[in-house]
Structure 1
Amino acid sequence: MTGRTCDIAIVGGGLSGGLIALALARHRPDITVRLIEAGPAIGGNHRWSWFASDLSPDGTSLMEGFRKAKWDDGYHVRFPGYRRKLRGAYRSLASEDFAARLQRELADDAILTGAEVAKLDAGSVTLRDGAIITARTVIDCRGFATTGDLTGGWQVFMGRHLRTAEPHGIARPVIMDAAVDQLAPSGNGGAYRFVYVLPLGAHDLFIEDTYYADKPTLDRSALSGRIDQYCHAIGIKGEPVGFETGVLPVITGGDFGAYTEAHRTPGVVLAGARAGLVHPLTSYTLPIAVRVALSIAEDADLPGEQLAAKIEAEARRHWKRMGFYRLLGTMLFGAADPAQRYRIFSRFYRLREGLIERFYAGTSRFTDKLRVLAGKPPVPVRRAISAILSESPPLLDPTRKTPQ
């Protein structure tokens, strides 16, 4: 007997922490786990989406057991003067379905909600109420927190789940509808706006108003009004049955070593968005979270210090691989007039489908990168060069405090 509470304690029951717990339950059921979440429910109030091609066969297998929305007949994008249907298969998972599977498949005592963490170290997690959970390995998945070491802009959004009295008639997702007013709500500075539409059922729609904004201001009243206007424009009437809001970083550069050092706790594994394991331009996290969860399950017997070093090395490699996307984000925020930023995406969605899917998966080939940058640029060349050479603003969100 070791006297420990569990083998592995995971702090943060969001996407990354939940998938790590699930991967361990599936591949290493002999290991005891505690999944510790400060909020009232695992997964919070979110919706995660991805392309089927984003995942490896093992990743697809891990995600197979979730109840999720699936579209195998393609999706649409819309821009001023240009529309396109693409063939890629698309998936979307709601947090309540995420939580339901974890509750089914994890051990009865594995999930702790409403458990705010006061401090953690390599062998224990101390809760705000004084309770101590001891573990061989501690994994910190508490989410992205600003330090001032990274630079960029923000993705600000509000999503609404509507239920219509009559069938709405929308068969496929609209991943990006930028044929909308590009004026940002006050307080956001410049922004690129698009609307995201998911037909979750014959009578159910998820409609999200999204901005690539210079500032992290989330004006709920303004965004709610914009969704009302969009629904009226497309002839949709329904009762709201749920909503979500969010502010995500769009990372364009910075000192990743300093960012990691600011969050590092000796011997503690740092994973998820807190570790920088995100797509810096699209903010898509699920494919990366799946890959890291499987990687941790594969080496779950490593001592905490060694597992922490492994995942930190993966985060450094990921940062290096994502340089191309940070460059594009720099040009988006620094070189394009806010009202004209949609032109960058409109041009991008004229490219080959395989290139587009690899872009979202963060696996663009060298030839993909050349193709994205070749031809007539969607932003003035001088401004693009100036943006690349200039220092982007630090990612500092005044509405958030860095978790300790």
Structure 2
Amino acid sequence: MVDSPPVSGAPDAAPFDVVIVGGGLAGGLIALALHRHAPGCRFVVVEAGRTLGGHHRWSWFETDIPKAQRALVAGFKVNGWDEGYDIAFPRLGRTLPTAYRSLASAEFHRALTDELPPERVMLGTKAVSLDESGVTLSDGTCISARRVIDCRPFAPSRHLSGGWQVFLGQHFKCEQPHGLTRPIIMDAGVDQLAPHGNGEAYRFVYVLPLSPDEVFIEDTYYADQPKMDAAVLKGRVGEYAHRMGWKGEVIDQEAGILPVVSGGDFAAASAEVAIPGVALAGARGGFSHPLTSYTIPFAVANALAIAKLLARRPDISGAELAAFCSARARRHWRATAYYRMLSRMLFDAAEPGRRVIVFEHFYALKGNLVERFYAGRSTWPDRLRILTGKPPVAIPRAIRALFSRGTPLDTKPLDTKLLNMETPA
């Protein structure tokens, strides 16, 4: 991980045009887009951690991001596989041709701090309150701003329902070349065990060959509860490496818990975190894929939309920017209703140990349908095709799931230290 000293100098008395609170994926990309597309905008990113992006790995299919938007991430040093990726299930194994990309947060931090002027980034600086006129820091410093964008992490809400994606990944340095040339996006031939050691869940292993002798192995679960026994997951990652014949040492690790949203009252959930006159972006604003938890295509699109709006209308008020982001969030919620319905089928209609059948059924479909699904751009024929054929869940359970409110995504059972909306699996 790149470690740079915090930028914590006192801000100028003159108000900033934009203060971005949270330097994760969404906040960092907004800063980059403003720097490139609204060069007259005086902005600053306020990040509590010592690095931008935290400690994560973001991955995406190349087709997730439209060609016209890819320039925003083209400058990052990424791992890429143009020959496609593999999936494996008990009764199905395939290689799909879509190119795949992965970005480590260390590279995200390095590229942003190389390109952004130092005065545009405040690291090791915690914001304790936000309003339409600026931000108050933990040391009492007030930063005045004409506009504030809240890019802090996702906040669980009883107004949203669904399940959880739980994961722990380890970066191995192998003693010998591992032999992989493509990522394994899902190896679901493993036992369908819960992430806390008891019960069942949909479980798969995700593998990225980062170099000829380095490999990232992640144990991932679609589980009913946000519970993780890290020791259990570390053991399972080690078992998988042993099964593949890979010996070596662990040089890095990450873990997290992501919400998988299946329904709820989006307006009520947004009202819980909204601050009058403050724009909401990132996962906190609801910009993620409801079933996969992928965020990067939406973060790229929002960053460019915000930057181009401010370049076109440099006098836009904070309230107008907040309304602009809110309207985009509502459109995103409506556009992703189909995926929330599939999430209900997964969590409310399929028994935990048989959820693997749902994904096996999906991955047997045409590769370009799978591409559009991950990008959140499924066509109506795609949607019908996914639901046709022998149903992977019992019809009575599926019908009940359609009308189910689901399990609230509240914070009571959640270890918030592991809550992380930035890392897709």
TM-score normalised by length of structure 2: 0.92
Q: Secondary structure at the match of 2:158?
A: coil
Give 1:283's aligned amino acid: S
Q: Within the alignment, does 1:65 sit opposite 2:75 as a pair?
A: yes
In 1, the alpha carbon distance for the partners of 2:235 and 2:50 equals 29
In 2, the alpha carbon distance for the partners of 1:46 and 1:189 equals 28
Q: 2:372 aligns with which of 350, 358, 369?
A: 358
Q: Report the CA distance shift for 1:59/1:12 in structure 2 as closer, same or farther (over 3 A).
A: same
8 A Cα contact 2:157 2:411, kept in partner: no
Q: 1:18 aligns with which of 25, 28, 50?
A: 28
Identity %: 52
In 1, the alpha carbon distance for the partners of 2:190 and 2:151 equals 36
Q: Deviations over 1:150-179 (max 9, x none)?
A: 000000000101111211111100000000
Q: Within the alignment, does 1:95 sit opposite 2:111 as a pair?
A: no
Q: Deviations over 1:173-210 (max 9, x none)?
A: 00000000101133776410000000000111011000
Q: Deviations over 1:30-55 (max 9, x none)?
A: 21111111112110000000011111
Q: Deviations over 1:57-104 (max 9, x none)?
A: 232111100000010001000000210000000000000000001101
8 A Cα contact 1:121 1:268, kept in partner: yes
- 1:189-338 matched pairs, under 5 angstroms: 190-300=200-310, 301=314, 302-338=316-352
Q: Within the alignment, does 1:157 sit opposite 2:167 as a pair?
A: yes
8 A Cα contact 2:196 2:228, kept in partner: no
The number of residue pairs the alignment matches comes to 401
Give 2:416's aligned amino acid: R
Alignment match, 1:400: 416
Q: Deviations over 1:265-308 (max 9, x none)?
A: 11100001001110010000000100000000011122211111
In 2, the alpha carbon distance for the partners of 1:3 and 1:225 equals 53
8 A Cα contact 2:15 2:146, kept in partner: no
8 A Cα contact 1:188 1:217, kept in partner: no
Give 2:93's aligned amino acid: R
Q: Within the alignment, does 1:114 sit opposite 2:128 as a pair?
A: no
In 2, the alpha carbon distance for the partners of 1:263 and 1:116 equals 18
In 1, the alpha carbon distance for the partners of 2:40 and 2:73 equals 21
Alignment match, 2:362: 348
Q: Deviations over 1:350-373 (max 9, x none)?
A: 111111000000010011000000
CA RMSD of aligned residues (A): 1.4
Q: Within the alignment, does 1:383 sit opposite 2:378 as a pair?
A: no
Q: Deviations over 1:200-223 (max 9, x none)?
A: 001110110000010001211010
In 1, the alpha carbon distance for the partners of 2:64 and 2:199 equals 33
In 2, the alpha carbon distance for the partners of 1:210 and 1:5 equals 44
Alignment match, 1:133: 143
In 2, the alpha carbon distance for the partners of 1:30 and 1:81 equals 57
Structure 1 residue runs without a partner (length 5+): none
Give 2:280's aligned amino acid: L
Q: Secondary structure at the match of 1:70?
A: strand
Runs of 4+ with >6 A deviation: none
In 2, the alpha carbon distance for the partners of 1:287 and 1:121 equals 28
Alignment match, 1:176: 186
Once the two structures are overlaid, the 10-residue window that deviates more, 28-37 or 207-216, is: 28-37
Q: Report the CA distance shift for 1:389/1:190 in structure 2 as closer, same or farther (over 3 A).
A: farther
Superposed displacement of residue 135, structure 1: 1.1
Give 1:340's aligned amino acid: R
Alignment match, 1:105: 115
In 2, the alpha carbon distance for the partners of 1:188 and 1:116 equals 38
Q: Secondary structure at the match of 2:147?
A: strand
Q: 1:44 aligns with which of 54, 59, 73?
A: 54
Q: Report the CA distance shift for 1:109/1:134 in structure 2 as closer, same or farther (over 3 A).
A: same
Alignment match, 2:9: none
In 2, the alpha carbon distance for the partners of 1:259 and 1:39 equals 26
Structure 2 residue runs without a partner (length 5+): 1-11, 420-425
In 2, the alpha carbon distance for the partners of 1:119 and 1:134 equals 12
Give 1:274's aligned amino acid: R
Superposed displacement of residue 228, structure 1: 0.7
8 A Cα contact 1:187 1:215, kept in partner: no
In 2, the alpha carbon distance for the partners of 1:193 and 1:305 equals 43
Q: Secondary structure at the match of 1:216?
A: coil
Alignment match, 2:155: 145
Once the two structures are overlaid, the 10-residue window that deviates more, 64-73 or 382-391, is: 382-391
Alignment match, 1:32: 42
In 1, the alpha carbon distance for the partners of 2:124 and 2:159 equals 30
In 2, the alpha carbon distance for the partners of 1:202 and 1:177 equals 20
Q: Within the alignment, does 1:76 sit opposite 2:86 as a pair?
A: yes
8 A Cα contact 1:277 1:289, kept in partner: yes
TM-score normalised by length of structure 1: 0.97
8 A Cα contact 2:197 2:232, kept in partner: no
